[in-house]
Chain A
Amino acid sequence: MKRQLNFTLNGRQIGLLVEPFARLLDVLRDDLDLTGTKEGCGGGECGACTVLLDGESVTSCLVIALEVEGKSVLTVEGLSNHLELDSLQQAFIDEGAIQCGFCTPGMLLSAKALLERNRAPSVQEIREGLSGNLCRCTGYERIVVAVSKACAKET
């Protein structure tokens, strides 16, 4: 029996009916067609499904959709302003921090949460801050450099 869910998504108020056991990941991808958030493991271990929930990074595969009632969710689709990329997105492109792109949305959101917590993280803090997001292609180095440069730009 579906239940009503109202929350703020990428800055807009929305409401829809969801299955009681649906994960936030399923609601985003299947009900709302926001397929930028990826499923890599379904167990909260790989970080591909990372979104921001009231500014905190969470693995959306472990969040029951109804839990976000009244809260605010930010997905990769909400990072850019129309066609204008956010500084993290631009830095990823400039520094070669993307290969297959599957971990990229989750990495961007984790990096965003990190920079909100800590305006000028050290390289070590960036490495640790991103250690919950697995990447098999890039070896992480370009991603760490991109995050470093993005926060240098902001300050």
Chain B
Amino acid sequence: MERNYVGKSHPRIDGPIKVLGAAKYIADLKLPNMLYVKILRSPHPHARIVQIDLSQAEKLSGVHAVLSGREFPQKLGLYLVDRPIFAVDKVRFVGEPVAAVAATSLRLAEQALKLIAVDYELLPPVLDLPTALADDAPLVHENLHEYSYIHNVFFPAAHTNIANHAKVRKGNVDEGFRVSDFVFEHTYHVPQMQHVPLEPHGAVAQMDMTGKITVWTGCQSPNAVRKLAAVAFGLPEGRIRVITPQVGGGFGGKAGIGIEGIVIALAMRVAPYPVRLILEREEVFFGTAVRQGLKARIKTGYTKAGRLLAQEAELLWDGGAYTEYGVNIVRAAAYSSAGPYDIAHVKTDSYCVYTNSPVGGPFRGFGMGELHWALEQQIDMIAAKLGMDPVAIRELNAARDGTTNATGEVLRDIGLDKCLAETARLIGMDTPPTEKYRGKGIACMVKGPSTPGTAASAAFLKINEDGSVNLSLSATEIGQGMQTVMAQIVAEELGITPELVYLNAPDTDYTPYEWQTVASRITYSTGNAVRRAAADAKNKLLALAAEKLGALPEELTIVKGVIGRQSGQGAMTSVKELSLGLSLPSGAGLGGPIMGTGYFIPDGIHGMDPATGQTPKVTSHWTFGAQAAEVAVDVETGKVDVLRVAAVYDTGFVLNPLLALGQVEGGIMQGLSVALYEELRMKGGRVENASFVDYKIATAAELPEMLIAFVQTPLEDGPYGARGFGEHTMVPTAPAIANAIYAAVGVRITDLPITPEKVLAALRELDKPRQLL
């Protein structure tokens, strides 16, 4: 079908404002009489708060408020309400907010922090998974049994450090192992990491004299901030207004509710003055959501032909001190635990474990990167044992139409085999490098959006007298390009050009509901809502045009804002002319100003059976892809150079090729960075490398050659067939690199990140038998 605007590389509509340096982010917001906030953070991983004395800080001239958990003991939580705004009876991680100051300058706020006196009684810290899971483990949350949470979706284990236990029981693994020719078991490890958005987190809050609270926040989820704050503070949602300016990168770290609770509490105390909190980079490393750590044990039963028959997975997630969001990552990993493969018998136990570490939260991939680090090396190791080609073993086991996943869902419209074949072809998997210490590796992936079945998107648009459109959405532009794609969709549906579509800033007082900008769901979900809103407006325009032109609406078409018969004959009118209604020759008016509304909730999502995890449809759709890497290993230093990366994704329909390309390139680099450089180095619960001096991310100097292509297997209910896409591009990169290193030098690193030290140590291990001879 011929499309005018979708499927084309329309330039970013927010490009000019960003290159001009005129885009406004939260730290650029200036309000009169703003007060500046600093947070006093816990120096201990686990301690009882015996006493807090705020009095000296309060006395400092220029300090307007000093608050702690004593004044505001409220708790927040998206799926499980376990996270206090300020620590109340005890602190659970190094960096936890204990108190906050609002003062007339940052310097004064910092001085005031020094005057707050806190007495702690140290408690035994839970710093690793074995300690957390021991029978006599100190409990991070003694009162877990009292917390409210979404029943029958999450399963906290009272009086333990297990915040969620998600189960999958498909078929019979014992039987599966029995009939397998071989059984192979291995463990994998992913440490906690940080998203590192270039823009640090920030929020401003102000309560006016009627009690209405406005929060400006660089977040991914204005409606979640409003809802969760309303619940925590016992206020009606309509009393809180959340506005989102430009956001400098999210990657999941700005999802749900974060620091907003603190500024709202302070704003309530100092009304009507606005309070402003912008985190220092150091605070971003340990004081915002981090990637959960994972220790995965995977046991696979397979035939001598390489067919995977049974998989038993034990996934132990280090969820950190609070798991109000992280419990869902653990669940998503369980229902995705077969990865991109067709495995008849699956037994998965996925545990979200409390430790006295930074708060685990959504990190690009939502558990898929961590899971595939394990699964994609497991299948590669099995291939090596069988002397089988790594592409062939994946082809043999790949999910395809009619196969089932870990939850027993029958899959359809799956293009994984095409992604795999094209990726292998692009990197040349069948021609290993001739140079020494060079190798190629491949990895596949799958992800579906992990949202409640009721997660909704809504869109509203109005047409202006000049034929332009204002589109109102609460979906946030975090860099992914959603504003541009939505403008393309309006243009396509309505028959105007994308330049005439203006996106209003998300503002919960004005823009209609959006669940959250996460899960790579906006193109799919909001795209559908926008399409419906544009169609609604178009119907109204065509009804008036039909009246004016003496035709039937079905005979009419809109092209570049001009409305006329499809045959091209007869009189014309325009979007502009009808924007405020139709003026009749008699002088009367007909109809009215043209507006359009639309909403979307995915159809037919079904919860998981609590005992078996089985369900016909756990998520709205799946997106598959594959990546392959060619690496060169320096055997003297252990340094790994990633030379080339091939990536092919089945996105259903590519709405904007240039933007889609940017997502793949960005994901590959983040995946490469995570593979080789990133981990939060912890000592006694403290993050030791909370700065860019010691936490390195990939720079332009590390760029490999990237070979990228797309497969388009339409999604039946996606806008123009489009699937969710965005997170997926950093999921398989790390295992593809690990597999390439194995091909290059015969060592396997199963513990992220792949540092030169680990590679050297592994190479020496390999060499040992030779040295002894």
Residues on A lying within 8 angstroms of B by beta carbon are 29, 33-43, 45-46, 48, 75-77, 79-80, 85, 89-90, 92-94, 96, 98-105, 108, 126-128, 130-144
Contacts and interface: CB of A to CB of B under 8 A. Distances in A.
Given A76-B21, A105-B21, A138-B666, 18 more contacts: A34-B21, A38-B198, A38-B248, A41-B281, A41-B692, A45-B691, A80-B20, A93-B12, A96-B661, A98-B12, A99-B479, A99-B662, A127-B703, A128-B700, A131-B699, A136-B195, A138-B662, A141-B665
Contacts of B281: 40-43, 46
Contacts of B661: 96, 142
Contact of A35 (B14, B28, B247): B28
A100 B706 CA distance: 21
B16 A85 contact: yes
A136 B661 CA distance: 15
B199 interface: yes
Contact of A100 (B22, B249, B659, B664): B249
Contacts of B14: 98, 101
Given A45-B693, A133-B700, A89 B20 contact: yes
Interface string B194-225: 01111110000000000000000000000000
28 contacts: A38-B25, A40-B198, A40-B199, A41-B691, A43-B281, A43-B691, A48-B198, A85-B20, A89-B20, A98-B14, A100-B198, A100-B478, A101-B14, A102-B479, A104-B19, A127-B701, A131-B700, A132-B699, A133-B700, A134-B196, A136-B670, A136-B697, A137-B662, A138-B669, A139-B670, A139-B706, A142-B661, A143-B700
B667 interface: yes
Nearest to A106: B198
A138 to B, nearest CB: 5
Contact of A101 (B27, B200, B246): B246
Interface in B9-31: 9, 11-12, 14-25, 27-28, 30
Nearest to B364: A136
5 A-B pairs closest in CB distance? A36-B21, A100-B479, A102-B248, A101-B18, A76-B21
Given A133-B700, A137-B249, A93 B16 contact: yes
Main secondary structure of the interface of A (DSSP, over half): loop
B668 interface: yes
Interface string B670-696: 100000000000000000000111000
Contact of B658 (A96, A100, A127): A96
Which of A39, A76, A141 has most B Cβ within 10 Å? A141
B724 interface: no
A48 B27 CA distance: 13
B701 A128 contact: yes
Which of A79, A128, A134 has most B Cβ within 10 Å? A134
A53 to B, nearest CB: 17
B72 interface: no
B480 interface: yes
A138 B24 contact: no
A89 B11 CA distance: 13
B86 interface: no
Nearest to B246: A101
A80 B667 CA distance: 31
Contact of A102 (B199, B659, B701): B199
A33 B198 CA distance: 21
B191 interface: no
Contacts of A77: 20-21
Contact of B703 (A38, A100, A140): A140
Contact of B668 (A43, A139, A144): A139
Contact of A136 (B9, B249, B480, B700): B249
A135 B479 CA distance: 11
A45 B697 CA distance: 11
Contacts of A102: 25, 197-199, 248-249, 479
B198 A98 contact: no
B662 A43 contact: no
Which of B16, B18, B478, B480 has most A Cβ within 10 Å? B18
A35 B703 CA distance: 30
Contacts of A101: 14, 17-19, 23, 246, 248, 479
Which of A75, A132, A136, A143 has most B Cβ within 10 Å? A136
B251 interface: yes
A111 B606 CA distance: 51
B360 interface: no
B609 interface: no
A135 B248 CA distance: 10
A131 B196 CA distance: 16
Contacts of A128: 700-701
A104 B21 CA distance: 8
B701 A141 contact: no
Interface string B132-171: 0000000000000000000000000000000000000000
